[in-house]
Amino acid sequence: MRLNQILIGTVCLVALCACKKCVSVEDLKKQEDKAMRKHGIGIWQHSISSPSSNATGCPVDLYQNWDSKDEKRSVSPWKYTEVTREGYFPPSYMEAQCLCKGCILKEGKDVIESHDFNSKPLVVSRMFLRRVLCEGGNNGTAKTYKLERVQLDVAVGCICVRTRS
């Protein structure tokens, strides 16, 4: 049992050190590709196009013919925008932005933006790789880098919540 724990600890330590090693830009690119395949980074990164991708305000007008049985519409609509972060891998991803401050609700026959509720981003933590310049050791040669795993919060949609009173 003790030997198994030592073996597992050694494997984990080697895996952790592999990301901390300083490498050339060419080797870094190979590491990035390998890590992205291994950890599934990029699988959720896809281009999402929606009719409201150019929307700038709360689209209450689109809800005027809203059937109360229509479960395909969010009462807290959002659009996706592309975010780019230099030195991170993947370097770009899609993030949701809420279109309304309140939530779209039906009052009688009218559809309104109610400010009794708030639209809030639904945030999940995603893993990225960040390129870090290694200190010293270059001796006039090409710069070397290492990759660090980082967790970033990314908005994937919007939800309707009660206002705090």
Domains of the chain: 17-127+135-143+152-162 (2.10.90.10)
Closest CA to 129 of 24, 34, 50, 49: 34
Residue type for 109, please?
Answer: K
CA end-to-end distance (rounded Å), the chain: 56
Q: What single DSSP character describes residue 136?
A: S
Q: What is the pLDDT along the chain (165 residues), one digit of tens a residue?
A: 444 443 333 333 334 444 567 888 788 778 777 776 776 655 444 444 444 456 678 988 888 777 655 555 789 999 999 999 999 988 899 999 999 999 999 888 888 999 999 999 999 999 998 998 887 655 556 788 888 999 999 999 999 999 886
Classify 87 in phi/psi space as left (phi over 0), alpha (psi -120 to 50) or beta.
left
